Structure 1
Amino acid sequence: MAATCARSLGKVGWALLESPGTRRSAAATYPRYRRAYGTGGTGAVSQLLSSARGRGGAGRRVLGCAFLLGGGLGLYHTVRLSLQQHLAQDDVKVSSGPLSLTLYQYKTCPFCSKVRAFLDYHGLPYRVVEVNPVMRHEIKWSVYRKVPILMVGDDVQLNDSSVIISSLKTYLIAKDKSVLDILRCYPEMKAVNDRGKEVTEYSNKYWLMLSETETTTTYPEKGMQKEEMKWRQWADDWLVHLISPNVYRTTGESLASFDYIVREGKFGAYEGFFAKYVGAAAMFLISKRLKSRHGLQDDVRQDLYKAVNDWVAAIGKKRKFMGGEQPNLADLAVFGVLRVMEGLQAFDDMMANTKVKHWYRRMEKASRLDEGLAAGKH
């Protein structure tokens, strides 16, 4: 609207300056610049020209200059306003502030630990809601009854650790997409697993939803994307299943593990006592079934050792991380899974008997660089 008005004022000004009387006066004063211009214009322009008749060339020149000045000022303000609006839109995109994130979790859950590792590494502030694993009152509002759940604001719910990580990583790279738009790329599917139990799965959950240019920038070397996806899936499908059989390997380790779970989790006094002793006994027995289900050796430590050594071998000696100089999503996933064993015998044995120690310490340092930005962590 402002631009149209500015153009109209400019036309009026030129019409007045180029009217016959004005041209004659101007030609007498500045004969060198005499040229033929058409006056043109109808409607409001013609009316203004009519009102200027009889005032002489000087009057028309003054009036024409006034309109030109007005048009110029109008155009200037239009351009300035347009530029301010453009910059304001860019500011909204760049400095609209961090996402409002709330993580519903069990602290000792490896899948929740994966999400925290990602959030910490990327310096994304988040609030933690520790869920009572018995009653789960904290997530009674959700149809999805597992953790982790990540809420973005008050209305966007992300489920499944790998979907959460892929969605947020895509959001951080593709600035033109909203979290809700990205989430639609990971449709929910119902399936029945090999034990006849209905489970919820998500399509594409190890993919980042990026343009070709963004993909090339994120994965500059051939094979990087496939390698990252392969090991992210390995962490979910294999590594995570080695945790329970190892931390509940013996009755003593099982009791120590539940002491840690109760201490770090959200339990009432009676729930904690029950969980510590009854839960420890139950998980000791369940771990034996898990060992059989996943085809583990009698000494499950050997499977853990082999898994982390396979991981270190995949990184190789020339890279600090699988991502190169900086961790990628596979690094963060493996680190998040292994981290839940810290303080337990299985973790100490792993650090002492495998080659994972140096990579793990580098990951600790990298993930804590921005950890102080995370809100709600005390």
Structure 2
Amino acid sequence: MAAACARTLVSKVGWSLLQRPAARRPGTGTVSYLLGNVSARGSRRTYGTGVHRSTLLSSLRAGGARALGCAFLLGGGLGLYQTVKLSVRQQQHRAEEEEEEGGTKAAGRDLKLTLYQYKTCPFCSKVRAFLDFYGLPYEVVEVNPVMRKELKWSTYRKVPILMVQDGVQLNDSSVIISSLRTYLINKDKSMSEVIRCYPELKSVNDSGKEVTEYSNKYWLMLSEERNAETYPEKGMQKEEMKWRKWADDWLVHLISPNVYRTTGEALASFDYIVREGKFGAFEGFFAKYVGAAAMFLIAKRLKSRHNLQDDVRQDLYKAVNDWVAAIGKKRKFMGGDRPNLADLAVFGVLRVMEGLQAFDDMMDNSKVQHWYRRMEKATLEHEGRD
């Protein structure tokens, strides 16, 4: 600002000099006085041809004043041009920085994420599917399911837990997904501000056990404008929320009865769990054999609790066929050309059965295969990143 004011003053001085009369006497102004002194001292040596001294002085003063005035104007103009040019560059730079900050947040690169999980947990798999699809970098801490020493710092003892920088802790798979998606869309909100929209609700269930639930867990907390951009067609938001809830309340309860359907399948499932999880040697042996037997019995109880058929595979086939029918033949995903949060939730739940007999049977005896392979590609290639 000071430089700009100085250049403006110089320009004004130069213009006033140009407006002065050419024949002003020496001593009436600083510029004329300086030019007069120079002319007086050098006139006889320089001009020895008999030209009248006063005429030479008058001409020199007039020409010198105009020349100096032009110089002032030229200098001021160049200074003003450079000032404007610099100001424009600074504004462009600030705009680029703001755009880069927005782009960084939209891509989630400003987040430092650490996921505490069991790899074979369907709720943890849901979170990984979301993070992978949107290309969000994250570290994984595999929790020992017996001792859970990795969670001793937390009063919340379930997985998944997602830690964000500045000590922000996100619990519950659906809350993690909803709050992160809200954050990526709402560029003007911090993660701490977003998570306040999903308050904890503690209650006691019918068994007398305290349980924790979360308000708004299937909602994205967006302004009307952002909401309209995210869900441009009528019914899209309601459909997404309905099927996300379906994945938590129904689909996930079909996993255990199917992967522990027989003693052989239970043993194969626990072999996979031990291989992929974090167990000590004794814990692994104990989990594989004792755990397999226990889960075989628990699966029978779950079948009764959820009113499943004797052949629980039929309930699994029907569930995924209902899902594919809801997508329809005209859409690649429930989200249209790109997966939405319901697609990611269903995919995450089903993915934990990969490598087991239940998964192979599902792919062979239902209509879910083509959608599943599209989802697999979308998450592996981080198609939501752009």
Scaled by the length of structure 2, what TM-score is found? 0.80
- One-letter code aligned to 2:314: Q
Structure 1 unaligned blocks of 5 or more: 29-51, 374-378
* Equivalent residue runs for 1:290-301 within 5 Å: 290-301=302-313
**Residues 110-121 of structure 1: pairs in structure 2 closer than 5 A:** 110-121=122-133
Contact map agreement 1:8 1:71 (CA 8 A) in 2: no
Query: TM-score, length-normalised on structure 1?
Result: 0.82
Match among 64, 68, 85 for residue 76 of structure 1: 85
Cα drift, residue 253 of structure 1: 2.0
Distance 2:204 2:266 in 1: 30
Match of 1:282 in 2: 294
| Cα distance change of structure 1 residues 369 and 69 upon mapping to structure 2, 3 Å threshold | closer
4+ residue runs of structure 1 moved beyond 6 angstroms? none
Q: What is the distance in 2 between the residues matched to 1:267 and 1:171?
A: 35
| Structure of greater Rg | 2
| 1:177-197 Cα deviation digits (max 9, x unpaired) | 333332222222212233332
Change (3 A) 1:74 1:172: same
Instruction: Give the alignment partner of residue 23 of structure 1, picking from 13, 19, 22.
Output: 19
1:196 is matched with which residue: 173, 189, 208?
208
User: Whole-Å Cα distance in 2 between the matches of residues 65 and 317 of structure 1?
Assistant: 72
CA contact (8 A) 1:6 1:72 kept: no
2:255 corresponds to 1:243:
yes
| Map of 1:105 onto structure 2 | 117
1:55 paired to 2:37: no
Deviation by residue 1:23-76 (Cα, 9 ceiling, x = unmatched): 2449x9xxxxxxxxxxxxxxxxxxxxxxx9532454566446545544443343
Post-superposition CA distance 1:165-221 (Å, at most 9, x none): 122222333333333332222222212233332122221121122233332222222
Amino acid at match of 1:87: E
Match of 1:149 among 139, 142, 161: 161
Paired residue type of 1:54: T
- Report the residue type matching 1:109 in the other structure: C
* Matching of residues 9-20 of structure 1 within 5 Å: 9-17=6-14, 19=16
Q: What is the CA deviation profile of residues 286-329 of structure 1, one whole-angstrom value per residue up to 9, with x for unaligned ones?
A: 22222233233333223222211211111112222111222111
Q: Summarize the alignment of residues 246-285 of structure 1 with structure 2, pairs less than 5 Å apart.
A: 246-285=258-297
| 1:339 Cα offset (Å) | 1.1
Partner Cα separation in structure 2 for residue 75 and residue 355 of structure 1: 65
The whole-number CA distance in structure 2 between the counterparts of 1:364 and 1:79 is 47
Query: 2:139 matched to which residue of 1?
Result: 127
Q: 1:353 to 1:61 in 2, by over 3 A?
A: closer
Task: Provide structure 2 residue ranges, at least 5 long, that are not aligned to the other structure.
Answer: 33-64
Q: CA deviation at 1:356?
A: 1.6
Which residue does 2:245 correspond to in 1?
233
Deviations 1:129-184 (A, max 9, x none): 11100111122222221111122236222211111112222233333333333222
Structure 2 counterpart of 1:5, from 2, 7, 11:
2
Which of 88, 92, 95 lines up with 2:97 in the alignment?
88
Alignment match of 1:210 (pick from 194, 204, 222): 222
Q: Which one-letter code corresponds to 1:94 in the other structure?
A: G
Identity of matched residues, %: 71
Residue 7 of structure 1: how far off its partner (Å): 4.2
1:2-23 per-position Cα deviation (integer Å, ceiling 9, x unaligned): xx3244224423542454x642
Q: Distance in 1 between matches of 2:160 and 2:192?
A: 18
Matches of 1:275 and 1:88 in 2, distance apart?
Answer: 53
1:55 maps to a residue whose letter is V
Task: Provide the residue aligned with 2:352 in structure 1.
Answer: 340
Whole-angstrom distance in 1 between the partners of 2:74 and 2:369:
79
Aligned-CA RMSD value: 2.6
Report the AA paired with residue 83 of structure 1: Q
**Residue 148 of structure 2 aligns with which residue?**
136
